[in-house]
A and B are shown apart, each in its own frame.
Chain A
Amino acid sequence: MNSTLPNSEAGVSRALDLLRTPNTRLVSIFGSIDENRARHVHYLIDVNGREYRMLSSPVTGPIPSATPITPSAAWYERELHDQYGIECVGHPDPRPLLFHENWPENVHPMIDDASHVPWAEGQHPFLKVQGDGVCEVPVGPIHAGIIEPGHFRFSVVGDTVLHLELRHFYTHKGTEKLFEHTPVMDGVMIAESVSGDNCFSHAVAYCQAIESAFGIAVPPRAQAIRLIGLELERMIAHIADVGALCGDVAFSVPAAYTARIKETLLRASTRFFGTRFWRGMAVPGGVTRDLSSAETCEFGKMVTAAARDFAQMARLILHTSSVQNRFESTGILTAEIARQLGIVGPVARASGIRLDVRCDHPSGRYRDINVDIPLYKYGDVLARARIRIDETAISMHLINETLKELPAGSVLVPAPHSGNAEALSAVESPRGELLYWVRIRDGKITRCHIKSPSFQNWPALPLAVPGNIIADFPLINKSFNLSYSGCDR
C-alpha cells in the first residue's frame, strides 16, 4: 500500500467518529459493489450494546484506517483490501490476510474476474523476535491431532513464550463470493458449510436475514424448534470443549466420558430429527421437521439426562487438583485487551464482559424469554471452562422450558423467491456473536457478509499466550476453541 492521503468520505468520517465515542463496539467492516460496480464500505457498530448501526459510504480511493481508533478493525481492514482492493491508510499491519504467497498481489476477487488466477510465489514476512536464547518454533498448518489447519509461529526463551504470531486462512474457500448469484433458498446450504460444528447457528442466522429482508413471519412453533436446535448445538459444543480441555491435561477418562455424552446427544438428534448436526433443519420460512408430543417428552428426558450426567462429571473435573493446577491462571486474557479487540462469546464472558446476542439483540423466540448470562472475571482457562459448564446447564433449562410450552401450529411458511431487499441478522452461536448481512436482487443473493465470532476472537489468542510455557499452548488454544473454517471462510 502506498501512502496517498485518504480522501475522507463523509460516511467513513462519521463511522470513525462514532467509533471514537464511548459505549460503541466495532462489529464488522466489509465491502460491497453496487449495480455500477462502484465499491462501498460498510461499518457495523454496536451502540450502547443494544442497537446495531450500519454506516455506509461509497469508496473512490484510499480511506483512513479505523485500526488506530480500535484495534478490532485490524483484520477487517486487511480483508477489505484483499477482497476489494480498498486501501486503509494508517493501518499498522497492511499485509495480505486471506491470500497467501500463492496469490498474485493485484487480484481482488470481489471486484476482479477470479476464475483463472495465476499462481504466484513469495515469502510471508513473519515478525522476527531477536535476542540471546530466542528460538522460533513453527507449528502447522497441519497439526498433530484431528484438527483444522492453521500456522502458529512461537518465539520462545526456554519453555516460555515471548511472542506468538498467527497465520491463518489455510481453509479460505472464497465463501462470501460463492453466495453471489445463489437463489435465496439455496444459500442456506452454503451457510451450513461455513463452520461444520456450528452449522445450525449459521443456518438460522442466514434464514433470519432472508426472513427479515422479505418480512416473513416465522411461525412461533418453528421459532421454538430453532431455539431448541441452537441451545442443543451450544450444549454439544460446550460439552465437547470441556472434554477436550481434560484431554489436553492428560485426564483422559473424563475426556472419553464427555465424548460419550456428546454422542448421546448426536444420536438423540438423529432419532428425533433425522440429522446429527441439524443440517437441513432450518430453511427460510421455518424448519423442515416437527416433533410429536410423545417425541417432545422423550427428547426432553434425553437432553436432561445428558446435561445432568455432564454436570456431575464436570464437578469431579473441577475438583481434581491436577486440573485446577493446569487451568488456574493459565492463558489470561484481560478484560482491557478483550474490550479493545471486540472479543465476543464465552471468551468475552470469561473475561468479565457481558455480551450475549440472546439478551442484547434477541430475535425469534429469544425475544420472549430471559436468558441467564454467567460471568467470570479472571479470563484464564479455568474461567473459560466454568463458563461452558454453566452455560450447558442453562441451555438444558432453556430447551426444557421451550419443550414444555411448545406453541401449536405449523413449522414452515412459504418464502418468496423473488424481490429486492437487504437485511442483517444476529445469532449467539456457541462461539459468540454471529451475523449475516445479505443483499438480494431478483430473489438472488448479490452480497452476503458473514461476521463470524472466530474471525473476531482469533487475534486475542496471541495476547493470552506470552508468559505461559509452550506446553500450555494447546490448552489455551482449546479453551478459546475458535473455528478455523469459520474464521477463514
Chain B
Amino acid sequence: MIGDAVERSLRSPHVLISVSELLSNAAGSRMPDVQSDLLTDEIARRVVAACPTSALQINEAAGRTHLILNYGNCIGCSRCVAAGNGAFRYAESVARCGVRKEALIRRWDIQSRAEVVQDDSALSQAAEQIRSLVGRALNIRQVDAGSCNGCEGEIVALTNPYYDLERFGIHFVASPKHADMLLVTGPVTRNMAAALKHSYDAVPSPKLVVAVGACGCNGGIFGGSHAVVGPVDAVIPVDGYIPGCPPTPSMLLTGIVQVLSPYCRLRERRRS
C-alpha cells in the first residue's frame, strides 16, 4: 500500500507558494498597521491605553507627538484594531522581520499624520536575494529556549509543501555543530539558559542568531517572571529579530532572508 499513498500524493494539486507572494506577507499574524491619514491624537491615546504589552507608546519631545509601535512587543491581541476607529487595521505585510532590534520600531508624527520614515532600502532587495540563494545551503539549528510551542508550530510549517523551505537550500539540522544559524524561540527560562549558551558555543564561527517571536525579541508576556531570564539577547548575541506571536511562516522566511542579506551582497560583489 506504500504505492497507493505515494500515488495519492503525486495526484494531488500543487500548492507551493511563490517567493513574491511569501516575502513580507503577514496575513493571519494579527500584527497591526497604521493608516497614517486617519491617525489623531485621541485615537493614539486610546490605542496606547488599550495595548496590554506596551507595544504602542506615545513619545512627546520638542513639541512633536510621536506614536511608537514596537513590533517586538506586539502579541497581536487586536485591541488597537478594535479601539483605533479605522486608523488601525491588520497588516497585510510586515517587512520588519529579521532586522536589528531598533528597526522593529515604527513611528508616526501625529500632528503631520505621517510616518517618520527610516531607511528600509535593504528590504526591497530581499526578493532578488532569495533567488540568488537558490543552489546554496544554509543550515539552521532551531532551539526552543522556553517557548509555548506556538513558534515551533510555525517553524515546522515552513517545511510543509506550501512553503517548502528546502527549495531555497535552507535545511534544519539536528546538531548545532552542523549549523550556520541558530533560530531561537521563547523567553529564555532559567532552566534553559545554560543549554542555550552551550548550543551557541557549539555552532562553528561565523554564526548567525535569529530571535523569534515576541518572547524571543523582548520577553513577551513572560518578561518579568521569576522563572525567566529574559529575551534571547539576554543570554547570547543576536543578529536579527522576527516579531509576531507567533510569526507566520512567511514572516519567518522573510526574517531568515533578511538576516542573510548583508552576506549575500558581499558575495555578489566578490563575484563581479
Given known contacts A142-B199, A177-B226, A270-B27, A170 and B147 CB-to-CB distance under 8 angstroms: no
Could you tell me the distance between the alpha carbons of A332 and B61 in the complex, rounded to whole angstroms? 67
Task: Collect the chain B residues with CB atoms within 8 Å of residue A149's CB.
Answer: 144-146, 192, 195
Mark contacts of B200-239 with chain A using CB atoms, 8 A cut-off: 1 yes-contact digit, 0 otherwise.
0000000000000001000011101111100000000000
Task: Collect the chain B residues with CB atoms within 8 Å of residue A322's CB.
Answer: 2
Q: Does B187 contact A (CB under 8 A)?
A: yes
Given known contacts A146-B172, A174-B226, A280 and B30 CB-to-CB distance under 8 angstroms: yes
Task: Collect the chain B residues with CB atoms within 8 Å of residue A270's CB.
Answer: 27-28
Q: Tell whether, in the assembled complex, residue A319 and residue B226 are in contact, meaning their CB atoms are under 8 Å apart.
A: no
Q: Tell whether, in the assembled complex, residue B8 and residue A313 are in contact, meaning their CB atoms are under 8 Å apart.
A: yes
Besides A103-B190, A175-B222, 6 more A-B contacts (Cβ < 8 Å) are A193-B75, A197-B150, A199-B148, A254-B5, A263-B161, A484-B149
Task: Collect the chain A residues with CB atoms within 8 Å of residue B133's CB.
Answer: none
Chain B residues proximal to chain A, CB less than 8 Å: 1-2, 4-6, 8-9, 12, 15, 27-28, 30, 52, 75-78, 82, 90, 142-157, 159-162, 172, 174-175, 186-187, 189-195, 199, 215, 220-222, 224-228, 245-246, 248
Q: Tell whether, in the assembled complex, residue A102 and residue B191 are in contact, meaning their CB atoms are under 8 Å apart.
A: yes
Q: Does A408 contact B (CB under 8 A)?
A: no
> Which single member of B148, B153, B186, B228 contacts A174 (CB below 8 Å)?
B228
Q: Does A117 contact B (CB under 8 A)?
A: yes
Given known contacts A275-B28, A280-B78, A316-B1, A146 and B156 CB-to-CB distance under 8 angstroms: yes
Within 8 A of B (CB), among A87-141: 98-100, 102-103, 109, 114-115, 117, 141
> Which single member of A196, A280, A288, A317 contacts B147 (CB below 8 Å)?
A196
Task: Collect the chain B residues with CB atoms within 8 Å of residue A144's CB.
Answer: 174-175
Q: Enumerate 24 A-B pairs (CB-CB under 8 Å) in ascending A order.
A: A99-B191, A102-B191, A102-B194, A141-B191, A141-B192, A142-B199, A146-B172, A147-B152, A148-B147, A170-B192, A173-B222, A173-B225, A174-B225, A196-B152, A197-B149, A259-B156, A260-B12, A260-B162, A266-B157, A274-B28, A274-B90, A279-B76, A319-B1, A486-B149
Q: Tell whether, in the assembled complex, residue B226 and residue A277 are in contact, meaning their CB atoms are under 8 Å apart.
A: no
Task: Collect the chain A residues with CB atoms within 8 Å of residue B186's CB.
Answer: 171
Beta-carbon nearest neighbor of B164 in chain A: A256
Q: Does A366 contact B (CB under 8 A)?
A: no
Task: Collect the chain B residues with CB atoms within 8 Å of residue A312's CB.
Answer: 8
Could you tell me the distance between the alpha carbons of A164 and B116 in the complex, rounded to whole angstroms? 58
Could you tell me the distance between the alpha carbons of A267 and B162 in the complex, rounded to whole angstroms? 10
Chain A residues proximal to chain B, CB less than 8 Å: 98-100, 102-103, 109, 114-115, 117, 141-142, 144-149, 169-175, 177-178, 186, 189-190, 193-197, 199, 251, 253-254, 256-257, 259-260, 262-264, 266-267, 269-270, 274-277, 279-280, 288, 312-313, 316-317, 319-322, 483-486
Could you tell me the distance between the alpha carbons of A368 and B52 in the complex, rounded to whole angstroms? 36
Smallest CB separation, A70 vs chain B (Å): 28
Q: Tell whether, in the assembled complex, residue A196 and residue B151 are in contact, meaning their CB atoms are under 8 Å apart.
A: yes
Given known contacts A148-B147, A259-B159, A313-B5, A173 and B228 CB-to-CB distance under 8 angstroms: yes
Chain A to chain B: the 6 pairs with minimum beta-carbon distance, closest first: A196-B150, A270-B28, A114-B226, A174-B227, A144-B174, A259-B160
Given known contacts A142-B143, A320-B5, A262 and B160 CB-to-CB distance under 8 angstroms: yes
Pick from B2, B8, B145, B172 the residue with the most CB of A within 10 Å.
B2
Q: Tell whether, in the assembled complex, residue B146 and residue A256 are in contact, meaning their CB atoms are under 8 Å apart.
A: no
Could you tell me the distance between the alpha carbons of A189 and B195 in the complex, rounded to whole angstroms? 28
Q: Tell whether, in the assembled complex, residue B148 and residue A195 are in contact, meaning their CB atoms are under 8 Å apart.
A: yes
Q: Tell whether, in the assembled complex, residue A173 and residue B149 are in contact, meaning their CB atoms are under 8 Å apart.
A: no
> Which single member of B153, B199, B221, B248 contacts A196 (CB below 8 Å)?
B153
Pick from B5, B8, B174 the residue with the most CB of A within 10 Å.
B5
Could you tell me the distance between the alpha carbons of A195 and B246 in the complex, rounded to whole angstroms? 12
Q: Tell whether, in the assembled complex, residue B226 and residue A256 are in contact, meaning their CB atoms are under 8 Å apart.
A: no
Could you tell me the distance between the alpha carbons of A147 and B155 in the complex, rounded to whole angstroms? 10
Could you tell me the distance between the alpha carbons of A283 and B266 in the complex, rounded to whole angstroms? 49
Smallest CB separation, B224 vs chain A (Å): 8
Q: Tell whether, in the assembled complex, residue A263 and residue B157 are in contact, meaning their CB atoms are under 8 Å apart.
A: yes
Smallest CB separation, B14 vs chain A (Å): 11
Given known contacts A115-B226, A142-B195, A189 and B159 CB-to-CB distance under 8 angstroms: no
Q: Tell whether, in the assembled complex, residue B28 and residue A253 are in contact, meaning their CB atoms are under 8 Å apart.
A: no
Q: Tell whether, in the assembled complex, residue A195 and residue B149 are in contact, meaning their CB atoms are under 8 Å apart.
A: yes
Task: Collect the chain B residues with CB atoms within 8 Å of residue A100's CB.
Answer: 190-191
Q: Tell whether, in the assembled complex, residue A276 and residue B28 are in contact, meaning their CB atoms are under 8 Å apart.
A: yes
Task: Collect the chain B residues with CB atoms within 8 Å of residue A263's CB.
Answer: 15, 157, 160-162
Beta-carbon nearest neighbor of A170 in chain B: B191
Beta-carbon nearest neighbor of B146 in chain A: A171
Smallest CB separation, A270 vs chain B (Å): 3
Could you tell me the distance between the alpha carbons of A145 and B28 in the complex, rounded to whole angstroms? 25
Smallest CB separation, A278 vs chain B (Å): 11
Could you tell me the distance between the alpha carbons of A260 and B149 in the complex, rounded to whole angstroms? 19
Q: Tell whether, in the assembled complex, residue B161 and residue A260 are in contact, meaning their CB atoms are under 8 Å apart.
A: yes
Task: Collect the chain B residues with CB atoms within 8 Å of residue A177's CB.
Answer: 225-226
Task: Collect the chain A residues with CB atoms within 8 Å of residue B153's CB.
Answer: 196-197, 277
Q: Tell whether, in the assembled complex, residue B8 and residue A280 are in contact, meaning their CB atoms are under 8 Å apart.
A: no
